[in-house]
Amino acid sequence: MGSVQQVNSDQIAKESTTVEDKWAHVTFTLAISGSKTWTDQEALNEVLDTKLSAQLDMPDAIIRMIDGGQRDGVDAMARIWASQRDNVTVSSYAPRWNKHPKGAVSKRNWSMVNDADAVIVFDSQLNENDFLCKDLHRAAVKTETPVAYYRPTE
């Protein structure tokens, strides 16, 4: 049998405050989502530089960027963009298939939106019937989080 330790309510309050304070220094949190087939790094860079220009120009600003944890496409390119800026940190929210086998992506999307001040979606086949768009839109409406959608120009 494993060992356990009793924890009093003061310790729990202190620990939960510490977890919440982890991101207390962050000026702005942006969730990035989109297609694994997105290939236009330049367009992504331009949108992020433009949308975050005020935050990027603040001398002591820290921007927290949340991505969906994918190896390719938008998530990978957003991490490249972030790595080229001193004041941007990245948190990856990969779907937790072992914990939520049937709803991992949806739960991940809701967590991303809930933790963000704004969301930007880049998708090659972006349309109102797309699962990602519907899912993120539902979460954004529920949490009152602004979402901007981008697709390549034709």
Whether the predicted pLDDT of 30 surpasses 70: yes
Is residue 6 a part of any domain in this protein?
no
The CB density around residue 68, as the number of other CB atoms within 10 Å, is 22
pLDDT higher for 59 or 90?
Answer: 90
Is residue 76 a part of any domain in this protein?
yes
**pTM of the predicted model as reported, rounded to 2 decimal places:** 0.75
The CB density around residue 56, as the number of other CB atoms within 10 Å, is 17
Of 19-23, 60-64, 92-96, 103-107, the one with minimum mean pLDDT is 19-23
Is residue 1 a part of any domain in this protein?
no
Give residue 31's pLDDT.
Answer: 92
Whether the predicted pLDDT of 17 surpasses 80: no
Q: At 43, which CATH number?
A: 3.40.50.450
Looking at every residue in the chain, the average pLDDT score rounds to 77
Domain that holds residue 113: 24-150
Torsion on CA atoms 109, 112, 117, 123, rounded to nearest 10: -50
Is residue 7 a part of any domain in this protein?
no
Is residue 18 a part of any domain in this protein?
no
Give residue 84's pLDDT.
Answer: 95
Q: Is the dihedral of CA 113, 78, 95, 66 positive or negative?
A: negative
Of 24-28, 103-107, 124-128, the one with minimum mean pLDDT is 124-128
Question: pLDDT category, 132, cuts 50, 70, 90?
Answer: low
Number of domains into which the chain is organized = 1
| 77-107 residue pLDDT tens | 999 999 999 889 999 998 888 888 888 888 8
